[in-house]
Structure 1
């Protein structure tokens, strides 16, 4: 794992170049361009807020703001997982280059979606201020939660992208799993709606439940998040990165041949 991280640092210029290229290519030919970074989550927020606050009657004050807090990191996570799973299998053109570091490809996907997430944050802050949710000192812990989510996301994308090279069905399986995953993540409701025993199980098994509730604590409640689940998932991310790094080490020479 340390070798993979050292190589990522060694090829940081390539990583930055590919991330910039992906950001430019994503909105090339689009009339609104980077505005879609704001428009996509805003339109999703409007649809889900209407559904859950009007039709399903969620009794949460400033419900639109509450939903937006959980929706932004969810979009970062799911976009990274779905796009990153095929990051290696779709890039034979790069893998056939001499000594091209395969681990740069999934990392580029996570980094690109991270930039989109960060660009949308000012909209979240502005919405909070308009609704009477000023930033509090707890926001200083935002980088810590972001750090944990980055490594959890990167670990899963690394693992899935390596497996998907030989098992292409994984991408289709994940797209269906994420649909179910969405509704067991407390984005549209408080995690407290679950009984205590099930709530603890949810936080142990669902990293995005931990991230969503942590961001809600920082931005909505103005309190510290529960650090225990964050530390747990940081540890799990390290283990997953170690497993993924092992697959990369054993099969990096085969990737170009298989894809």
Structure 2
């Protein structure tokens, strides 16, 4: 009996998610547009900040590594940029998702909104900023004499897996962010540590071979290396590792949806 009940609940979660996604599709689009406009409403540069922000970060890290620490690598700025752009997508999305349910509890007490939608909006908003930032890649590839190969179009698969992984993370973070007020503070330090343990400013070749395998447990390694393959090295992304990451992400998305569905009413009591 328990197995039947459990299976029924799982099926209901999937069915309800699909139903609510279709029902609230316009709300998702409207909220994403509103969020984008709100983020640039009080800035002089407006949407250009989405180009300048990752560009400035790339310049700073390039100066630090190549000049101060005397690091040498051909095309290093674009090497860093291929990691910084998806990393900015990740950090902005996860940090915003930590408070995306708690900050709207007043509205949620008055109007029902499926909770999985709120972190999804954050992923979409920052995905659009990520796509906007991709525009910088083309002049950079020209400057550093990097050829645009047919493999570049395989970036779509990398982005798709990146999207799945991000959404999986935001669902879990959004859930715990309701009950744990210091979630953002904890995430700030965790994300900073995670960045330096990811091959963003250095290549895997610089890691001692005896411990290099540990870096492959880091999802960023698969993502960063795949972006660099299609952009810089005229080769395919790491399909095998990406597929594993995709499967893990789907499982985590499912777990996140279960958490949000199970605690739907409990969230409202936290207001």
Partner of 2:9: none
Alignment of 1:1-259 (within 5 A): 1-2=13-14, 3-196=16-209, 198-204=211-217, 206-259=218-271
Q: Deviation at 1:185? A: 1.0
Q: Deviation at 1:211? A: 0.8
8 Å contact 2:155–2:237 — kept in the other structure? no
RMSD (CA atoms) = 1.4
* In structure 2, distance between residues paired with 1:5 and 1:61: 47
* In structure 2, distance between residues paired with 1:23 and 1:93: 22
Q: Deviation at 1:119? A: 0.6
Q: 1:8 to 1:195 in 2, by over 3 A?
A: farther
Q: Deviations over 1:222-246 (max 9, x none)?
A: 1112222211111111111111111
Q: 1:203 to 1:10 in 2, by over 3 A?
A: farther
Greater alpha carbon shift after TM alignment, 88-97 vs 45-54 = 88-97
Q: 1:149 to 1:131 in 2, by over 3 A?
A: same
* TM-score with structure 1 setting the length: 0.95
8 Å contact 1:86–1:164 — kept in the other structure? yes
* In structure 1, distance between residues paired with 2:93 and 2:137: 20
Unaligned runs of 5+ in 1: none
Q: Deviation at 1:10? A: 2.8
* In structure 2, distance between residues paired with 1:172 and 1:5: 33
Partner of 2:8: none
* In structure 1, distance between residues paired with 2:162 and 2:56: 24
8 Å contact 1:8–1:103 — kept in the other structure? no
Q: Deviations over 1:61-101 (max 9, x none)?
A: 02111111111000001111111111111112331233211
* In structure 2, distance between residues paired with 1:6 and 1:154: 18
Select the structure of larger CA radius of gyration. 2
Q: Deviations over 1:81-128 (max 9, x none)?
A: 111111111112331233211211111111100000001111112111
* In structure 2, distance between residues paired with 1:196 and 1:138: 28
* In structure 1, distance between residues paired with 2:134 and 2:176: 33
